[in-house]
Chains A and B, each alone.
Chain A
Amino acid sequence: MPNMTPKKAAMPTQPPEERRHNFREVALGYSAETAMEEATRCLNCRHKPCVSGCPVHIEIPRFIEQVKDGDFGKAYEIISRTSSLPAVCGRVCPQENQCEARCVRGKNGEPVGIGRLERFVADWHNAQEEVKPEKPVSNGHKVAVIGSGPSGLTCAGDLAKMGYEVTVFEALHLAGGVLVYGIPEFRLPKSIVQKEVETIQALGVKIETNMVIGRVLSIDELMDEQGFEAVFIGSGAGLPRFMNIKGENLCGVYSANEFLTRTNLMKAYREESATPIMHAKRVAVVGGGNVAMDAARSALRLGASEVTVVYRRSEEELPARAEEVSHAKQEGVVFRMLSNPVEILGDENEFVTGMKIQQMELGEPDASGRRRPVPVEGSEYVIDVDAVIMAIGTSPNPLLKFTTKGLETKSWGGIVADESGQTSREGVFAGGDAVTGAATVILAMGEGKTAAAAIDEYIKNKSK
């Protein structure tokens, strides 16, 4: 008889009053006993709806069955057949919209904690004695991957498993993309990212950091001169948007990318860090996505006494994960809904002192199907803040578009690619945020995976 408890086994977390002062991981993970108990809630359905909800189609009931039996090694093997970054995805996937959304148990109670179980298995594996995966035999074909974020690492890992000689080119000094510069330590410890990167390197993938493709080498040079038969573009959507309102260039106004890069990649939260950051007391974060939540919660941990999320729609439309919003609220982040900044105010030294906000109300639905926020006349007021973080979205960096002949892009900068990842250039594939615009880690991984299969087929057909 399966365990019919309607609720997931609880995940222990650091208490809010403690964690708001440190960058240590908030969610502490299951113990072996809890994991095995949660695994007994899975009904092992024949039609496995959960699998179709996972962008990389992990065989969920099969790995959970192994967890139930306590064979965590076997469980890891099943997961790693399809996923290259399980310790990451178990932590940052919006499971409520993916695998867990389709779990049968969710119809009458809470779904099985699939993400928590995946995380447990990956952490268990990473804690074992170093077992390096066997390096596959080379098939002699070279593939270049641009960008070492989730889509690039997945594509590289899959290709390496098929025997390709893969080189990943990364512009920053550390591999991982948004996993290292964007998502904070308290949600995703960097040691875990490092471990997953090392696993992919052990498969024979070469990672070259400090390489800005488009500047130091072009895609054409990679293919014509360096002998790469195919290229995968996984360069993400890293170009921050600003609102273009008055005062946006004052000292103390950050893009979320800058604020998070200083904090996460450059470790500016540490006392001894060489990279500075403003330790502001009253911070406004503009936007309602996961990036806004990450920025707000980081600002708290950097010592702010008051952090306010300013969002122009209502709570229902918040794009951030429900769990992140609730964590932020527990930690004391204040939410101002239906509020739109119209100006940032500063002092004579051009440091931020306040923000003028206009009240909004919801009107007719717009193109996205969400009700459009409309300003309320004469409703403007000022809040006192000494830093503002803009987290209103990002778009793809145009560098590759400008330096690659014949690479088609959409008006907003996304690379044009078909379902397999094929771009307008032969042998050049793309996936992740570079194609879709800012989305999720697991979708990027799914596209990296699809493109790896397409690249394999392309090279096999070509060499026939």
Chain B
Amino acid sequence: MYRILKKKVLNPTVTLMEVEAPLIAAKAQPGQFIILRADKDGERIPLTISGCDKERGSVRIIFQLVGATTKQLGMLNEGDMIPDFVGPLGNPTPIDGLKKVCVVGGGVGCAIALPVAEKLHENGCEVHTIAGFRNKDLVILEDEFKACSDKYILMTDDGSAGEKGVVTMPLEKLIGSGENYDMVIAIGPLIMMKFVVKTTKPHGVPTTVSMNPIMIDGTGMCGGCRLTVGGKTRFACVDGPDFDGFEVDFDEAMKRGAMYRDFERHAYEKSCHLLNKEVE
């Protein structure tokens, strides 16, 4: 059992938790993830580690309430226990030797992008961050990013905070204006990462993307998370989750990600119904 040390609601759909897991905290590096079960009969879901406090022995996760399990997780409070919490899984984001990087985060993907940006900054790399959200109520981690970025650009779809538009607009402008990035690291919804790659590829700027397919065990024993990368089948949980964006088949990944959509909608509606009942 893993105790929740801290819980903070970041915005109406995004919650931060600090979970006591000293062994994972001692080992985890930016880009790695954990798998948890929110309930003893629950499903296993992957969440990227968005930071660690080695002294407190805690692991930070930031998650969006998108379905039955994340909603159930969101109902837990400080002092409550998470029955299963396993990691660190996957490979760390490869950042060795990078001197100038543009980190592009979309929505809750920013929570995963933050430790990468922090690590780059710590290594003396010049970090530019572009963070995109739907509107100003959903903006998270602004101060944290500013603290580790040489340049921080905030975008919202409706212009209610920062600049109006999508993340690829400033990215295109920065690259066009002669910023010579060693690497662009994109973390967010598949559709966003696909368009980041569309932006960087013509300029030949190497681009790393953090993939988020459906997973069960997260240890390489089932292949549920497989993707086509460079024409070959790879398992995101052990070969990734980071891959060369130019090589990833995003369309296939999006179709596979939607495989259980009906089931998920049903489970979510059912959980909402139950939760509402509890509130009554």
Residues of A within 8 A of B (CB): 171-173, 209-212, 215-217, 238-240, 242, 244, 248-249, 251-252, 254-255, 257-258, 261-262, 266-267, 272-276, 278, 349-350, 397, 399
Contact = CB atoms under 8 A, between A and B. Distances in A.
Specify which of A212, A255, A257, A261 lies most central, judged by the most chain B CB atoms within 10 Å of its CB. Answer: A212
Given A216-B88, A262-B216, 12 more contacts: A210-B85, A240-B223, A242-B223, A249-B233, A258-B223, A272-B41, A274-B39, A275-B43, A275-B216, A276-B43, A276-B264, A397-B221
Contacts of B27: 215-217
Contacts of A261: 216-217, 221-222
Contact of A397 (B24, B219, B259): B219
A239 B216 CA distance: 14
Interface in B237-256: 238, 252, 255-256
Contact of B221 (A173, A244, A257, A350): A257
Given A255-B222, A266-B43, A249 B256 contact: yes
B43 A274 contact: yes
B222 A399 contact: no
A266 B69 CA distance: 14
B87 A216 contact: yes
Contacts of B83: 173
Contacts of A212: 86-87, 89, 219
Contacts, number: 106
Contacts of A173: 37, 44, 83-84, 86
Give the residue among A210, A238, A242, A244 with the most B Cβ atoms within 10 A.
A210
Interface in B207-245: 216-217, 219-224, 226-228, 233, 238
Nearest to A212: B219
Contact of A255 (B39, B89, B223): B223
User: Which 6 residue pairs spanning A and B have beta carbons closest together?
Assistant: A258-B222, A238-B221, A276-B263, A210-B86, A350-B255, A274-B43
B216 A258 contact: yes
Contacts of B44: 173, 266, 275
25 contacts: A173-B84, A209-B84, A212-B219, A215-B88, A215-B89, A216-B27, A240-B222, A249-B228, A249-B252, A251-B259, A255-B223, A255-B224, A257-B222, A262-B216, A266-B44, A272-B41, A274-B43, A274-B68, A276-B260, A276-B267, A278-B259, A350-B255, A350-B256, A397-B220, A397-B221
B177 to A, nearest CB: 39
Contacts of B259: 251-252, 278
What does DSSP make chain A's interface, helix, strand, loop or mixed? loop
Contacts of A275: 43-44, 216
B217 A171 contact: yes
B79 interface: no
Nearest to A268: B43
Nearest to B235: A239
Nearest to B226: A249
B238 A399 contact: yes
A254 B84 CA distance: 25
